[in-house]
Structure 1
Amino acid sequence: MRPLLPLSPSILALCFGLFAMTAQAEPTVHIRLDGQPLQPSWEMLGDDRFAAELDLQPGQLVLGARDADSQPLKPFQRHELDERSRFDFSVTEPGRYRLLVQTGEGANLRLLPIRQKEAATETVCQPWNGEALDVPVAGVFADGQRLRDGYSGQTAVVSNGRISLTPAPDSGGLLLLEADGAAPEPAHDWRNANVYFVLTDRFANGDPGNDRSYGREPDGEEEIGTFHGGDLKGLTGKLDYLAELGISALWISAPYEQIHGWVGGGDKGDFRHYAYHGYYALDFTQLDANMGSEDDLRELIAQAHARGIRVLFDVVLNHAGYSTLADMQRYDFGALRDGMAQYLPQQWTQWQPESFENLHAYHNLIDYQHPAWTNWWGKDWVRAGVADYPTPPSVLIDPLKGSLAFLPDFRTESEAAVSLPEFLRHKQPTRAVERDGYRVRDYLSEWLSFWVREFGVDGFRADTVKHVEPAAWAQLRQQADEARRDWSRANPDDPFAGEPFWMVGEVFGHGPETSDYSANGFDALINFGFQEEVAGNVSDCLRKAENSYAHYAELLADNPQHNFMSYASSHDTSLFFARHQDLQRQRDLASALLLSPGAVQIYYGDESARPFGPTGSDPFQGTRSDMNWDDHGKPEIAALIEHWQRLGQFRARHPAIGAGSHRQLSEQPYAFVREQGDDRVIVVQGR
């Protein structure tokens, strides 16, 4: 989930000693090398994003105020900016570096060494002319060996260390070379995972009967933040479609019970925002009725496993969901201000603002200082700034104890034993029960690992990782591992019985580099760098990916336990197709992403050019539009999907693509080899 922290450049200029802003909103970064100031020229990359190149001689590089606390600047790694920012970096060899700076929301910087090859030449993409490609394959495949193009199905025999094939007309000049003939079923490798991320509510409606659970209603307008009907049955019905895309893991939005009512959506309160995305939890021990039944979940996981697809839950340790009028009324927590009841209908959630108000105005009805807020989560559970609850600090000051988007912040760091929250004591149904001596994180870990032990969930995608103490994540992982072993013993006939649990984390802005999170339960982190620094550029042609591919593969080779998950579109950033509006680029994105080292993530509809949806005053809502199933019958979209399928299936057959070593074979045509043990492939693009 994206932290909602809108900061204008002018505010940043006040907050961060690192920055001063010119009239053109261009950052002037205070940079010194051995005490001497540097003043680079800045290139604007987009809204609030800038780049500058630095020629550095050996010495001590300092970015930020002299009197601020110092922290080491690590190349390639994204560093957050706040009012205490100062970074030190020892330049040991002369060279060129690229400094990337983002101001505004999620302010950060990265320092990237520029490889000499990259600095010396500019990669130029040339249209493929339709001719056959002559490819050197010596040292990878032997003379006399028959190779197959995994895209077109054509075959040819290696002669004199070379092979010649004409790419399929619709391939964009692409050859996917593999040994011809039957190959053994590849062993699963999470470094080669192809993960499909879906907001369940927006994907497929398998049971219209659960669309209006808990009194949730459509708004009859643009339906920006309402529930749309997608559910677990809908996912099950689309598993064959996912298998055809070569998907090895399905990441679904958190299906456990969410707040029942709505909050005002966007800065302007211009739409009703329900918890359709799964990030506003009410009861971690129950499925949300909009998602379906527990039998639906068992069937989804069983059918997914039968197709070789693992199921990942999105999980949240950082925060609970907001209070809503619907939940206040149903669970009797909180209180209205004196005299405000007359302004509410019999069902509070049906309240309408006056013509001069927006939906945020419902807060005016509520007495947030009333002692009846003890009936909600309680001050020992969350920081929320209501009644006698502790008030959370700014997340910029304290990322662990701060509140994201004013959400109630779980006190996961507390060592104090807590009682079950009052509203959960009386809620039915629930599996939440009182535990002697349990801390907040003990309850959360037990509740979340239940889904692993009982249903066979294969892994977690952990939300807002950097806003929770590492010890809490380590505990969750330990309990999930134990739950996984228990499930495997109880379900020995399941295809994935005995397979280890897997956990990938969202550390907003993190790149592909190693980090300390791996020591606290995480097998991988989401690679935000791919979308920003690779996807758009490489969708011109694959040769532009060479430096990134080589770097990614080197990181994996140097660290056998390391992994990362790259993506090009997400619910918290942007849709690739919305940014480029180009079907050819969307085709080439498939090559750039699915041939990348490390795990990769497809966001639902990447493969079908799902369009941006209505967004209101929250610019990220449009990234969560309904899956465009009706477009799949259009010839141009059907061809696009088929292209993604061919590349996805090729990746699924060859663990070497994500997990193997990388070596460029030729420049013209551009070709590289990936090798892992006996598995080897050559990828060629004639442009």
Structure 2
Amino acid sequence: MSWSDDCLWWHVYPLGFVGAAIRDSDHLGTERRPPLHHLDHLERWLDHVVDLGLNGLALGPVFASTSHGYDTVDHLRVDPRLGDEDDLRQLFQAAHDRGVRVLLDGVFNHVGRDFPQVRAALADPTGDAARWFRHEPDGRLAVFEGHDGLVLLDHDAPEVVEHVTRVMTHWLDQGADGWRLDAAYATPARFWATVLPRVRAAHPDAYVVGEVIHGDYAAIVQESTVDSLTQYELWKSIWSSLRERNFFELDWTLTRHDALLDTFVPWTFVGNHDVTRIVDQVPDARHHPHAHALLLLLAGTPAVYYGDEIGLHGVKEDRLGGDDAVRPAYPDAPGAWTPEQQATIDLHRRLVSVRRRHPWLRTARSRSLVLENELLVLELTARDGEDGSLVLALSTRDEPARLDVGRTELLAGDATRHGDGWQLPAHAWAVLR
């Protein structure tokens, strides 16, 4: 059993979290500006992570970049808007002291225009540095998805293999526990199949999850040798089913989700730094708890995006600065919550508690006992060789529903005994054992 089998994550976008200037040129670029030592801001929230019952801190980009962190200019230097290498090591240690693992965000598909080899390649298109990058037929440096500031690395180049291997190993040496691989869907699986065995030779317990939006998830895991992939299909199905009050979509997705468990355990989420907040995706607030229950009880490795545990709003827009609303600054430290925020925190605690008491949920198979547009009753069952079974009932109906599921105990949610069964109120959810 790996330590990652027991890990439930809190996902943070650090530059936003600390209130760093994203587009202020006074703070950006490759010049070595004095570090601002803001990573202690994150350290002050570690007890909040533990209080939620989580034990993993998944960080967005922390390395020197030109603006938002995904245009890296130096993979071996901490972004001065966050601090320096000592600050990052201190954060690792503070997390580990609390039993919290730390995941770093590896942006290895592309780099920023101020990356040293990019500058060298632009200065001398026939020089050695040009081998680091992909090129268009006319010789121009290729860019990622039309973003001129993101230059694509050539993952067949030995120099790139060596660089990424060295960077990943270096930060694992410093105390990181694993990596998220940004834009892994755009990076050849054969590249990771070359790099990761080298990294794991020194750090065999490192956990690696790739960002993949669509495609043959199982094949990508097998070909790349990553441990997991981001489950965007389930993310979309959760909010869409609740918004449209159509559980048939979720039921179909769960069939594929269960099949993936034969190959790997997906990284699951209802929010992250790239998507509109769940409370805005699902306009009816009565159904927000349903989304959190699905995240924390369905099979997978769940990640709670910072702010979701207090019900923050934020709509992603397709414009410059359109991500800012979903990458907000957080207070200096946990403090007084509004009644609504406290209720959402308490909900997460209850759900995490259920998850902790039933660790087999990580690989549980799901089966729909009742499937209607506005009512879904799922049986969650331990895989072969393990013992466990729960029922998760979700309603978006305007009237109560009777549940005859042969269960005798309410673990979480809202349901009452009704004869030999249970009654689920309108727009409610419940976990039964």
Q: What TM bracket, shorter-length normalisation? A: 0.7 to 0.9
Report how far residue 683 of structure 1 moved.
3.3
Report how far residue 310 of structure 1 moved.
1.6
1:674 alignment partner in structure 2 = 381
1:447 pairs with one of 147, 152, 167: 167
Matches within 5 A, 1:500-539: 500-510=205-215, 513-538=217-242
Matches within 5 A, 1:115-194: 190=4, 193-194=7-8
Matches within 5 A, 1:236-635: 236-259=43-66, 274-275=67-68, 278-323=69-114, 372=123, 378-383=129-134, 390-392=139-141, 405-415=148-158, 439-453=159-173, 455-484=174-203, 500-510=205-215, 513-538=217-242, 545=250, 548-549=253-254, 551-556=256-261, 559=262, 561-612=263-314, 617-618=319-320, 619-627=322-330, 633-635=337-339
Question: Counterpart amino acid of 1:567?
Answer: F
Report how far residue 375 of structure 1 moved.
12
- SS of match in other structure, 2:388: strand
| Percent of residue pairs identical | 22
What TM-score, normalized to structure 1? 0.49
CA RMSD of aligned residues (A): 4.0
8 Å CA contact retained: 2:179, 2:209: yes
- SS of match in other structure, 2:257: helix
Matches within 5 A, 1:74-113: none
Distance (whole Å) between structure 2 residues aligned to residue 215 and residue 448 of structure 1: 29
Report how far residue 249 of structure 1 moved.
2.2
Structure 1 stretch displaced more, 371-380 or 306-315: 371-380
Distance (whole Å) between structure 2 residues aligned to residue 665 and residue 230 of structure 1: 53
Question: In structure 2, do the counterparts of structure 1 residues 625 and 477 end up closer, same or farther at CA, with 3 Å as the change threshold?
Answer: same
Distance (whole Å) between structure 1 residues aligned to residue 345 and residue 24 of structure 2: 34
Report how far residue 254 of structure 1 moved.
2.2
CA-to-aligned-CA distance 1:26-57 (integer Å, 9 cap, x gap):
xxxxxxxxxxxxxxxxxxxxxxxxxxxxxxxx
- The answer to whether the aligner puts 1:202 opposite 2:9 as a matched pair is no
What TM-score, normalized to structure 2? 0.74
8 Å CA contact retained: 1:577, 1:586: yes
Question: Counterpart amino acid of 2:312?
Answer: R
Question: Counterpart amino acid of 1:467?
Answer: A
8 Å CA contact retained: 2:118, 2:129: no
Question: In structure 2, do the counterparts of structure 1 residues 683 and 608 end up closer, same or farther at CA, with 3 Å as the change threshold?
Answer: same
Distance (whole Å) between structure 1 residues aligned to residue 281 and residue 97 of structure 2: 36
Report how far residue 252 of structure 1 moved.
0.4
Structure 1 stretch displaced more, 576-585 or 464-473: 576-585
Question: Counterpart amino acid of 1:674?
Answer: T
Question: In structure 2, do the counterparts of structure 1 residues 645 and 204 end up closer, same or farther at CA, with 3 Å as the change threshold?
Answer: farther
Distance (whole Å) between structure 1 residues aligned to residue 388 and residue 257 of structure 2: 17
8 Å CA contact retained: 2:277, 2:315: no
Report how far residue 250 of structure 1 moved.
1.6
Report how far residue 190 of structure 1 moved.
4.2
2:41 alignment partner in structure 1 = 234
| Aligned length, in residue pairs | 381
Structure 1 stretch displaced more, 642-651 or 470-479: 470-479
Task: Specify the structure having the higher radius of gyration (Cα).
Answer: 1
1:3 alignment partner in structure 2 = none
Report how far residue 203 of structure 1 moved.
2.1
Question: Counterpart amino acid of 1:608?
Answer: I
Report how far residue 406 of structure 1 moved.
4.9
Report how far residue 311 of structure 1 moved.
1.0
Question: In structure 2, do the counterparts of structure 1 residues 655 and 238 end up closer, same or farther at CA, with 3 Å as the change threshold?
Answer: same
2:404 alignment partner in structure 1 = none
Distance (whole Å) between structure 1 residues aligned to residue 48 and residue 247 of structure 2: 30
Question: In structure 2, do the counterparts of structure 1 residues 592 and 241 end up closer, same or farther at CA, with 3 Å as the change threshold?
Answer: same
Report how far residue 526 of structure 1 moved.
0.8
8 Å CA contact retained: 2:133, 2:142: no
- SS of match in other structure, 1:308: coil
CA-to-aligned-CA distance 1:71-127 (integer Å, 9 cap, x gap):
xxxxxxxxxxxxxxxxxxxxxxxxxxxxxxxxxxxxxxxxxxxxxxxxxxxxxxxxx
Question: Counterpart amino acid of 2:211?
Answer: E
Distance (whole Å) between structure 1 residues aligned to residue 118 and residue 366 of structure 2: 60
CA-to-aligned-CA distance 1:389-448 (integer Å, 9 cap, x gap):
9325687xxxxxx76555211122135xxxxxxxxxxxxxxxxxxxxxxx2221222122
Question: Counterpart amino acid of 2:172?
Answer: V
Distance (whole Å) between structure 1 residues aligned to residue 39 and residue 348 of structure 2: 24
Distance (whole Å) between structure 2 residues aligned to residue 333 and residue 555 of structure 1: 42
Question: In structure 2, do the counterparts of structure 1 residues 587 and 662 end up closer, same or farther at CA, with 3 Å as the change threshold?
Answer: closer
Distance (whole Å) between structure 1 residues aligned to residue 238 and residue 55 of structure 2: 23
Distance (whole Å) between structure 2 residues aligned to residue 392 and residue 311 of structure 1: 34
- Gaps of at least 5 residues in structure 1 are 1-186, 218-228, 260-273, 335-368, 396-401, 416-438, 486-499
1:4 alignment partner in structure 2 = none
Question: Counterpart amino acid of 1:680?
Answer: G
8 Å CA contact retained: 1:280, 1:321: yes
- SS of match in other structure, 2:171: helix
Question: Counterpart amino acid of 1:626?
Answer: A
Report how far residue 466 of structure 1 moved.
2.8
Report how far residue 534 of structure 1 moved.
2.5
CA-to-aligned-CA distance 1:284-321 (integer Å, 9 cap, x gap):
11212222232322222223223332211110221111
Distance (whole Å) between structure 2 residues aligned to residue 389 and residue 482 of structure 1: 40
2:27 alignment partner in structure 1 = 216
Report how far residue 533 of structure 1 moved.
1.8
Question: In structure 2, do the counterparts of structure 1 residues 670 and 333 end up closer, same or farther at CA, with 3 Å as the change threshold?
Answer: closer
